[in-house]
Structure 1
Amino acid sequence: MNRQNDLMKRINETYPKLSKGQKLLANYIIKHYEKAVFLTASKLGKIVGVSESTVVRFANELGYDGYPKLQRALEELVKTKLTSIQRMEVASDRIDKQQILKSVLQSDADKIKYTIEDIDGEAFDKSVEMILEAKTIYILGVRSSAALANFLGFYFNLIFNNVKLIHTNSVSEMFEQIYRMDSDDVVIGISFPRYSKRTIKAMEFAKSRKAKVITITDSPLSPMIQYADCSLLARSDMASFVDSLVAPLSVVNALIVALCIKKQDDVINALHSLESIWEEYEVYDKSDDDITLTYNPKEQI
């Protein structure tokens, strides 16, 4: 059962036996779920006119282990429904305007913390092995997720010689680049709310061609999951006009590091060749090359 429908189903089924105060909460959530999701138990109770303890009992009555679990179910319900304008309004209300830098950094730090707690280590290890065994590695992410796909593609091209980063402005262009994929290939699809239909269609196509599918997304309820052999879940911020991709980027980084370790000799050889090319064609600035650093381990400070 989809949890998005499950929440409303629970409310409908339990409504007749709810107390008067709990029915007020139920009615408010049904009518204003896009606002309720961002409220603490205390604030929700104050708006509806009930105590915080009534809010907690209401969550328990619905079958959730405390208010945070109910709030998480609400997040799943609204994450794909908020427009960009609504997200901007919500972000404006939630962020401390006097401490914007600290507020955003703390929010991103929290998402990495939650990702560490939730991510499936076995799925990560399986993803690494699938990538190592693939004939061709396809990488796809559009809109804001394109930044993650480009980052992953850049480093994968240093590790492998069988990487295809899909560049697409239309569905037809996308299929023209992936129509050859088969069961020996792996596709890495990256998408976060609001989920891209193009990316979802690509995952569906990959599954129909029996390619291995790895998804990097935010939730077990993501539409990407239905086509995935392995899913790497990373928290993103559903309530901001600017997508928070810090935790997803950290997962991508971990994937790159794991594969570099697995293919350490190949990576070292590639970097030796690239260093010569970079030097010959002056890819990097060398203005500090006249500064020589020396280190004598016998010296004591």
Structure 2
Amino acid sequence: MIDEKKDLILQIQKNFSKLSKGQKLIAQFIIDNYDKAAFMTASKLGLKVGVSESTVVRFANALGFEGYPELQKALQEIIKTKLTTVQRVEMASEFSNEGAILKKVLKSDMENIRNTLENIDPKDFQAVVDQIFSANRIYIVGLRSSTALAEYLGFYLNLILDNVKIVGYGISDIFEQMLRISKDDLVIGISFPRYSNRTIEVLNYAKEEGVPIISITDSLLSPVAGLSDYCLTGKSNMVSFVDSLVAPLSLINALIVAVGMREKEEIRECFNKLENIWEKYNIYDNKNQS
């Protein structure tokens, strides 16, 4: 199998002379239109360049892949951080109707959750929970589309632990919000394609200060993973211009529950107080409850 770190396009170019006539047609199309080819089925790619589906499969085999799906995933991994929003919108134009969109997106999210479950290491997950409990203060950094994940994780962790700070854009600069960070603290960085440069800069700063770092990202090849002491990966393969955060959110849910189960008594006491406050100040609608 080709190393994912290598440029697949360059690999195709190097092997071009060894390919059959039909395979060269496929290769040239991928080189010229890699952003489109990455989301084409084998049959659609073959139809586009005028070869059979079996020729497309043999082309993938010639590059060292077990089948076309593996080649397709490798292409997607390479390009997903390079695609502009406009290119993502163009990818979605092949959907025939709203029903097709619904089916495609939900199936993609299911696949992301399944891949996340298959690839995560329970020992790494437990180590992350241990790190959370050993930290004096916890700083959570997630910008752009990852802001929703950071806010969600921070909201629940703060109810459980009461030592959590969500770092984000506001009156104070991000680095000012981390001014008093120390080696006894912990930074949790959340970043998914397209990766935020500001998040990477913040994690670099934390690393320079000797602070332990946990990253929640889509791949061990992501720029934030390389800066981390511990990395949890949640698949976020997209089918359109919208980032898929379903699997990452499910992973974060599991993390919150795991932390909470170590603090059962504290959580019970905390939520008892909250229920009284919610009832007193009518935070929730209880009219329809029996």
TM over 0.5: yes
Partner of 2:151: 150
Question: What letter is aligned with 2:286?
Answer: K
Q: Tell me what 2:55 maps to.
A: 54
Cα distance in 2 for residues equivalent to 1:39 and 1:9: 20
Kindly provide the CA deviation profile for residues 12-63 of structure 1, in whole angstroms up to 9, marking residues without a partner as x: 3322222222222221111110010011111112212222222122212212
1:257-276 aligned within 5 A: 257-276=257-276
Q: Which residue of 2 aligns with 1:221?
A: 221
Per-residue deviation, 1:182 = 2.2
| Residue aligning to 2:205 | 205
Q: Deviations over 1:39-96 (max 9, x none)?
A: 1111112212222222122212212221111111101111012111111121232464
Aligned to 1:252: 252
Residue 294 (structure 1) aligns with: none
Q: For 2:269 and 2:110, locate their aligned partners in 1 and report how far apart those are by CA, in whole Å.
A: 35
Structure 2 partner of 1:284: 284
Q: Is 46-55 or 125-134 further displaced after alignment?
A: 46-55
After superposing the two structures, state which structure 1 stretch, 18-27 or 195-204, moved more.
Answer: 18-27
1:106 aligns with 2:107: yes
5+ residue gaps, structure 2, are: none
CA distance in 2, matches of 1:97, 1:255: 34
- Return the TM-score normalized by structure 2: 0.92
Q: How many Å apart are 1:154 and its aligned residue? A: 0.8
- CA drift at 1:163: 0.5
Larger radius of gyration: 1
Shift of the alpha carbon at 1:189? 1.0
Cα deviations across residues 242-285 of structure 1 (Å, max 9, x unaligned)?
A: 22211111011000000001111221122222223323333223
Q: Which residue of 1 aligns with 2:73?
A: 72
Quick one: structure 1 residues 169 and 31, their matched pair in 2 at CA, closer, same or farther if it must change by over 3 Å?
farther
In structure 2, how many angstroms separate the alpha carbons of the residues matched to 1:223 and 1:199?
10
Match of 2:7 in 1: 6
Counterpart for residue 38 of structure 1: 39
Instruction: Kindly provide the amino acid, as one letter, of the partner of residue 229 in structure 1.
Output: D
* Corresponding residue for residue 299 of structure 1: none
1:121 and 2:119 are equivalent in the alignment: no
Is the Cα–Cα contact under 8 Å of residues 22 and 55 in structure 2 kept in the other structure? Answer: yes
> Partner of 2:183 in structure 1?
183
Amino acid at match of 1:140: V
Local SS of the residue matching 2:94: helix
> 1:161: which partner in 2?
162
Query: For 1:43 and 1:84, how far apart are their aligned partners in 2?
Result: 23
CA 1:239–1:102: 2 relative to 1, 3 Å: closer
- Which stretch has the larger CA shift, 271-280 or 78-87? 271-280
Partner in structure 2 of residue 15 of structure 1 = 16
Instruction: Name the SS of the counterpart of 2:248 in structure 1.
Output: helix
Structure 1 residues 274 and 112, CA gap change in structure 2 (3 angstroms): same
Distance in 2 between residues matched to 1:97 and 1:43, nearest whole Å: 21
Residues in 2 aligned to 1:20 and 1:4: alpha-carbon distance in whole angstroms: 28
Please report the TM-score for the alignment, with normalisation by the length of structure 1: 0.89
Matched residues in 2 for 1:202 and 1:252: separation?
A: 21
Amino acid at match of 2:265: D
How much does 1:10 deviate? Answer: 2.1
- Report the AA paired with residue 230 of structure 2: C
Kept after mapping to 2: 8 A contact 1:76/1:221: no
Q: Assess if the C-alpha contact under 8 Å between 2:124 and 2:232 holds in 1.
A: yes
CA contact (8 A) 2:38 2:75 kept: yes
Give 1:74's aligned amino acid. Answer: L
**Residue pair 1:128, 1:259 contacting (<8 A) in 2 also:** yes
Map residues 81-96 of structure 1 onto 2, 5 A cutoff.
81-94=82-95, 96=97
Moved more, 94-103 or 255-264: 94-103
Residues 38, 212 of structure 1: alpha-carbon distance in 2 compared, 3 angstrom cutoff: same
Which amino acid letter does the alignment assign opposite residue 197 of structure 1? N
For 1:71, the aligned partner's letter is Q
For structure 1, the 5+ residue unaligned runs are: 292-301
- Partner of 2:243, secondary structure, is coil
